[in-house]
Chains A and B, each alone.
Chain A
């Protein structure tokens, strides 16, 4: 048999029907639903009188709109409240499993799926959210869809898809201390650009990827969409299996044994052909900081803000000029001299326990030498990805480390990743953020976002400007 890629295997196992033109009807095993991209889908079902194909394959939770403090008081903004109440009502009407806002298991869809064992190796998983690529960390085929497709999956358990091309991003070598999965993700995007992966499904491979924890792999796959790839994935290994074991919705008993046997086959065969291969050396990656309004506008923390005069072409030159004007930055400024007004540690990219450990470690080290959140930083907030992450962090005393240093410790949700709730940047404010998008207005109209890892964000909070985390941790 011809050697197959991981993507080929996942694809082949889910084809229900193949059209001659290459379009396939793909079976969808798991569907995550949140309040923002689902109301029109449920409305569509109701209007057409259609039933749900299989309610049990769905897990729903509100995350984008939920407040991150004083939650008992409910949602103040009436429009946000209506959206969350609409989700609640739809889940009751259609019999869906929902973790409501007051449920201890509520959180960002991409954090709770893996946490519950709802995300499993070998599944196809979709959600009306582009960062669904996160779940590919489990050797799953996971991608974001639009609302019409949400409705389509609810009604048919299937999607019409054309197979993408396969790209391998191979990262070998050892990551230096303080350099994380987030830095790999940003370095990859810096290399191939935000459209570099368009039309591809990316498999991340190589020794540096195998060395990452499951949390790190999720961070990496999460950002695949920022490289233009709808799906990112990593082969299953013993770490994958160990992470899934014992989770509430993971298989048990004989099912577990046969599942594990299948999961062990979820890797690209030796000699499998990729349409494109990109290679990076992990040991050469430095902590990354974005300077512009697209994730590809990124440089190592040791570098300077680039000069549009040095842009590779005219379109990029005008993009860079516009980005610098929006970001209020001057070419050649050292990154370490950029001061921040706010710090956000959270989002589906970096709000898992390991991210909070990394941030708390930095805060702890600096606090021992008497540092607190710098005076020029108006707000430094930590927003755990789920109620369970929050509970674990509190049990381990992380909340105390953050609070004592002057951080705010909030309730789980998307929060300032996209500022649909009350957490946002004011015009002109500059933020060190562990989220995934630095688009204009993403964190609030006129807000200026710099994407970094949790450790880098924590250090920026304590110094009031960007610093090289490798020096802090020495």
Chain B
């Protein structure tokens, strides 16, 4: 996993609530057995006018001019500004894979769906929860100023606006540590192998039917 430390990124505002993972990456792309290459199909149904199929070359597909990510001013965005309950619906990890592959490293919203939120941390994407009022203000600023960028510092847990306003955010200490260092969960867990084995031994006595 790519570590995440700081980011000074162009902001793309996606102004709808309850954006679900089906919208982030439609199901036909879930047929891939790979982890990469989903970026060109992120938000496929909103982004293109034709029907996307896995393996398609997206460079010549007709783009939906009304979709925000297709606007020239948001090309190269790495911070996604979103509304409440972002990432609801299906548990597909393909959603953060697609966002990451597209180029987003941070997502700011007033709230996220649980599974999606969790999946982001495992893929080097930082989901940041800010108060609804603050998010509202960022939406207004991003719309008003072309080339609007935010500076995100994970160590300091701050988002800084172009005007120099510093907005603090919360992040779980353990997740922060893993993200800062790009650590893989499994190797950390396997350091607890003896504890897991001891738990199993206890549990086998109490509930032997669980161990078939």
Q: Tell me the A residues contacting B by CB distance below 8 Å.
A: 16-17, 19, 21, 23, 25, 27, 29, 36-37, 39-40, 43, 48, 50, 53, 56-57, 64-65, 77, 79-80, 82-83, 86, 120, 122-123, 128-130, 144-149, 151-152, 155-158, 160, 162, 164, 194-195, 198-199, 228, 230, 249, 251, 255-256, 258-259, 262, 294, 315-316, 318-319, 322, 418-420, 437, 439-442, 445
Can you list 7 A-B contacts with CB-CB less than 8 angstroms, sorted by A residue number?
A: A25-B189, A50-B186, A146-B91, A146-B96, A162-B172, A418-B22, A420-B30
In the complex, chain B residues whose CB is within 8 Å of the CB of A441: 22-23, 26, 45
A86 engages B33 (CB within 8 Å): yes
In the complex, chain B residues whose CB is within 8 Å of the CB of A152: 185-186, 189
A156 engages B35 (CB within 8 Å): no
B115 engages A146 (CB within 8 Å): yes
In the complex, what distance in Å separates the CA atom of A53 from the CA atom of B35?
Answer: 23
The size bracket of the interface on B is 35 or more
B118 engages A228 (CB within 8 Å): no
- Beta-carbon nearest neighbor of A77 in chain B: B31
A230 engages B172 (CB within 8 Å): no
B51 at the interface (CB under 8 A from A): yes
Stretch in B148-156, B161-169, B195-203 touching the partner: B195-203
Q: A40-B33, A146-B118, A156-B190 are in contact. Are A123 and B210 (CB under 8 A)?
A: yes
Q: A27-B196, A146-B119, A198-B113 are in contact. Are A39 and B33 (CB under 8 A)?
A: yes
B195 engages A439 (CB within 8 Å): no
A319 engages B16 (CB within 8 Å): yes
- Beta-carbon nearest neighbor of A418 in chain B: B27
B78 at the interface (CB under 8 A from A): no
In the complex, chain B residues whose CB is within 8 Å of the CB of A157: 196, 200
B18 at the interface (CB under 8 A from A): yes
Report which residue of B22, B51, B88, B119 has the largest number of chain A beta carbons within 10 angstroms of its beta carbon.
Answer: B88
B119 engages A315 (CB within 8 Å): no
In the complex, chain A residues whose CB is within 8 Å of the CB of B59: none
In the complex, chain B residues whose CB is within 8 Å of the CB of A151: 186
- Residue of A17, A228, A255 near B208 (CB, 8 A) is A255
B186 engages A23 (CB within 8 Å): no
- Beta-carbon nearest neighbor of B122 in chain A: A148
- Residue of A21, A77, A437 near B89 (CB, 8 A) is A437
B195 engages A195 (CB within 8 Å): no
B185 engages A82 (CB within 8 Å): no
Q: A158-B189, A195-B84, A259-B207 are in contact. Are A228 and B114 (CB under 8 A)?
A: yes
- Beta-carbon nearest neighbor of A160 in chain B: B185
A25 engages B192 (CB within 8 Å): yes
In the complex, chain A residues whose CB is within 8 Å of the CB of B26: 441, 445
List which B72-97 residues lie within 8 A (CB) of chain A. Answer: 83-85, 88-94, 96
In the complex, what distance in Å separates the CA atom of A148 from the CA atom of B1?
Answer: 11
In the complex, chain B residues whose CB is within 8 Å of the CB of A262: 207
Q: A148-B119, A445-B26 are in contact. Are A155 and B186 (CB under 8 A)?
A: yes
Q: Which 8 A-B pairs have the closest CB atoms?
A: A251-B209, A39-B33, A146-B93, A146-B119, A148-B122, A130-B91, A144-B91, A147-B93
A83 engages B33 (CB within 8 Å): yes
| Known contacts A23-B172, A230-B114, A258-B208; 7 further A-B pairs (Cβ under 8 A) | A48-B186, A53-B196, A79-B32, A152-B186, A228-B85, A258-B209, A439-B20
Report which residue of A37, A156, A255 has the largest number of chain B beta carbons within 10 angstroms of its beta carbon.
Answer: A156
Question: Smallest distance from the beta carbon of A37 to chain B beta carbons, Å?
Answer: 7
In the complex, chain B residues whose CB is within 8 Å of the CB of A65: 31
List which B178-195 residues lie within 8 A (CB) of chain A. Answer: 185-186, 189-190, 192, 195
- Beta-carbon nearest neighbor of A250 in chain B: B209
B55 at the interface (CB under 8 A from A): yes
A128 engages B91 (CB within 8 Å): yes
B14 at the interface (CB under 8 A from A): no
